[in-house]
Amino acid sequence: MGFFDFFRARPTPDGFAHAVLRQVRQRHPARQCLYEAQPFRIVFGSDAQQIFNLDHAYRDYCAAPRKLRTQVLQNHLAGIDVPALPASFAEAREHLMPMIRSRSQGDYLRLLALQQPPRPALADAWRALDDDALILLAHDTASSMATIGQATLAQWGVTFEQALAAAMDNLRARTPHSFLALGDGLLMGEWHDAYDSSRLLLPDLLYRACQGGEPLVMIPTRGRFLLASSHNVAGQLQMIALADKLMQDEGRQVSPAMYGVRNGKIVACQPADAAVAAALARLQAMLRAHHYGEQKQEWDQLNAQRGENVCVAACMLFQSKGGEREGVVSLATWTRGVDTLLPRTDIVAMVVPADNGGDSATKLLAWDDALAIGGELMQEVECYPVRYRVRGFPAPHALAAAPAWDS
pLDDT of residue 7: 41
- Whole-model pTM: value is 0.78
Q: How confident is the model at residue 336 (pLDDT cuts 50, 70, 90)?
A: very high
**Residue 292, domain member (yes or no):** no
List of residues 6+ apart from 91 with CB closer than 8 A: none
Q: Which amino acid, one-letter code, is at 48?
A: A
Residue 249 to residue 252: CA distance in whole angstroms: 10
If asked whether residues 245 and 266 sit together in one domain, one would say yes
Look at residue 22 and tell me whether its pLDDT is greater than 80. Answer: yes
**Residue 77, domain member (yes or no):** yes
pLDDT of residue 20: 84
Q: Which contacts (CB < 8 Å, 24+ apart) does range 57-66 have?
A: 57/16, 57/20, 58/13, 58/16, 58/17, 59/250, 59/251, 61/16, 62/10, 62/11, 63/249, 63/250, 66/7, 66/8
Pairing assessment for the beta strands 311-312 and 327-335 based on DSSP bridges = unpaired
CB 217 within 8 A of CB 130: no
- Report how far Cα 35 is from the mean position of its chain's Cα atoms: 24
Range of the domain at 341: 307-401
**Residue 277, domain member (yes or no):** no
Answer with the one of 125, 156, 174 that is the final residue of a domain.
174
pLDDT of residue 3: 39
How does pLDDT run across 40-94, given as a tens digit for each residue? 777 766 444 466 778 778 888 888 888 888 888 887 777 666 667 899 999 999 9
Residue 58 to residue 76: CA distance in whole angstroms: 10
Q: How confident is the model at residue 117 (pLDDT cuts 50, 70, 90)?
A: low
> Which residue did the predictor score with more confidence, 104 or 84?
104
CB 243 within 8 A of CB 225: no
If asked whether residues 152 and 90 sit together in one domain, one would say yes
**Residue 313, domain member (yes or no):** yes
**Residue 72, domain member (yes or no):** yes
Answer with the one of 155, 174, 193 that is the final residue of a domain.
174
If asked whether residues 145 and 95 sit together in one domain, one would say yes
Burial letters 129-147, b for 16+ CB under 10 A, else e: beebbbbbbbbbeeeebbb
Answer with the one of 111, 140, 174 that is the final residue of a domain.
174
Q: How confident is the model at residue 6 (pLDDT cuts 50, 70, 90)?
A: very low
If asked whether residues 223 and 250 sit together in one domain, one would say yes
Please give the angle made by the CA atoms of 166, 167 and 172, to the nearest 5 degrees. Answer: 100
How does pLDDT run across 219-249, given as a tens digit for each residue? 999 889 999 999 999 999 999 999 999 998 8
Residue 64 to residue 48: CA distance in whole angstroms: 30
If asked whether residues 191 and 159 sit together in one domain, one would say no
How does pLDDT run across 172-208, given as a tens digit for each residue? 999 999 999 999 999 999 998 889 999 999 999 999 9
**Residue 281, domain member (yes or no):** no
How does pLDDT run across 292-313, given as a tens digit for each residue? 998 998 889 888 888 889 999 9
Residue 125 to residue 137: CA distance in whole angstroms: 7
- Counting Cβ atoms within 10 Å, is residue 231 exposed (0-12), middle (13-18) or buried (19+)? middle
- Report how far Cα 175 is from the mean position of its chain's Cα atoms: 25
Residue 129 to residue 133: CA distance in whole angstroms: 5
Pairing assessment for the beta strands 347-352 and 327-335 based on DSSP bridges = parallel
> Which residue did the predictor score with more confidence, 79 or 133?
133
- Counting Cβ atoms within 10 Å, is residue 334 exposed (0-12), middle (13-18) or buried (19+)? buried
- Report how far Cα 221 is from the mean position of its chain's Cα atoms: 9
CB 168 within 8 A of CB 97: no
pLDDT of residue 113: 58
List of residues 6+ apart from 388 with CB closer than 8 A: 341, 342, 344, 378, 379, 380, 381
| Count of domains forming the chain | 4
> Which residue did the predictor score with more confidence, 288 or 115?
288
What percentage of the chain carries pLDDT values higher than 90?
54
Pairing assessment for the beta strands 340-343 and 378-381 based on DSSP bridges = unpaired
Tell me how far CA of residue 7 lies from CA of 23, 54, 64, 307, in angstroms.
Answer: 13, 16, 11, 43
If asked whether residues 360 and 316 sit together in one domain, one would say yes
**Residue 40, domain member (yes or no):** yes
If asked whether residues 168 and 187 sit together in one domain, one would say no
If asked whether residues 70 and 93 sit together in one domain, one would say no
Q: What would the DSSP string read from start to end of 152-179?
A: HHHHHT--HHHHHHHHHHHHHHT----E
**Residue 116, domain member (yes or no):** yes
